[in-house]
Amino acid sequence: MTPQTVALLGAGVVGSQVARLVLEQRDDLSARVGAPLDLVGIAVRRLDADRGFDVDPALLTTDASALIRERRPDIVVEVMGGIEPARTLILEAFENGAGVVTANKALLAEDGAALYAAAARNGSDLYYEASVAGAIPLLRPLRESLVGDRVQRVLGIVNGTTNYILTRMDESGAAFDDALAEAQALGYAEADPTADVEGYDAAAKAAIIAGLAFHSSVTLADVHREGITGVTPSDVAAARESGHVVKLLAIAERSLDGRGINVRVHPAMVPRTHPLAGVREAYNAVFVESDAAGQLMFYGRGAGGAPTASAVVGDIVAVARNRISGGHGPRESSYEALPVLPLGASTTRYYLAIDVADKAGVLEKVAHAFAEHGVSIETMRQDGHGDDATLQIVTHSAGEAHLADTVETLRGLDVVRAVASVMRVVGE
Ligand X SMILES: NC(=O)c1ccc[n+]([C@@H]2O[C@H](COP(=O)([O-])OP(=O)(O)OC[C@H]3O[C@@H](n4cnc5c(N)ncnc54)[C@H](OP(=O)(O)O)[C@@H]3O)[C@@H](O)[C@H]2O)c1
* Catalytic center residues: 205
Q: Can residue 11 be called a binding residue for ligand X (CB under 6 A)?
A: yes
Q: Give Cα 116 distance to the centre of its chain.
A: 20
Stretch that binds ligand X, among 13-21, 280-288, 362-370, 390-398 (CB under 6 A): 13-21
The correct pick among 30, 308, 390, 421 for binding ligand X (CB under 6 A) is 308
**Which amino acid is it at 69?**
R
Residue among 61 and 409 whose Cβ is closer to ligand X: 61
Using the rule CB under 6 A, is 275 a contact of ligand X? Answer: no
- CB–CB of 301/135 below 8 Å? yes
**Interface with ligand X includes 80 (CB under 6 A)?**
yes
Q: Which residues contact 64 (CB under 8 A, 6 or more apart)?
A: 9, 43, 80, 85, 89
Please work out, in degrees rounded to the nearest 5, the angle formed at the alpha carbon of residue 272 by the alpha carbons of 267 and 276.
Answer: 60
CB 365 within 8 A of CB 354: no
**Residue of 24, 27, 31, 46 interacting with ligand X (CB under 6 A):** 46
The distance of closest approach from Cβ of residue 106 to ligand X in the complex, given in angstroms and rounded to an integer, is: 6
Asked if residue 344 lies in contact with residue 400, where contact means CB atoms within 8 angstroms, the answer is yes
CB 285 within 8 A of CB 275: yes
Q: What residues have CB less than 8 Å from 153, skipping those under 6 apart? A: 251, 252, 253, 254, 288, 289
Stretch that binds ligand X, among 24-32, 245-253, 303-311, 407-415 (CB under 6 A): 303-311
For residues 356 and 277, what is the distance between their CA atoms, to the nearest angstrom?
30
State whether the Cα torsion 136-137-141-145 is positive or negative.
Answer: negative
For residue 401, give Cα distances in angstroms to 153, 267, 269: 21, 18, 19
The nearest distance, CB 14 to ligand X, in angstroms, is 4
Please choose, from the candidates 400, 353, 336, 351, the residue with its C-alpha nearest in 3D space to the C-alpha of residue 374: 400
Minimum CB separation from ligand X for residue 295, in Å? 25
Residue placing its CB nearer to ligand X in the complex, 162 or 392: 162
Span interacting with ligand X, options 73-81, 110-118, 177-185, 349-357, rule CB under 6 A: 73-81
129 HSE (CA, 13 A, CB side):
23
23/367 with CB nearer ligand X: 23
Exactly one of 304, 322, 351, 407 binds ligand X (CB under 6 A); that residue is 304
Q: Does residue 416 interact with ligand X by CB under 6 A?
A: no
User: How far apart are CB 379 and ligand X at their closest, in Å?
Assistant: 40
Least distance from ligand X to the Cβ atom of residue 397, Å: 34
Near ligand X by CB under 6 A: residue from 44, 55, 115, 210: 44
Q: Is residue 161 at the binding interface for ligand X, with CB under 6 A as the rule?
A: no
Give residues in contact with ligand X (CB under 6 A). Answer: 10-15, 43-46, 49, 64, 79-81, 85, 103-105, 130, 134, 303-304, 308
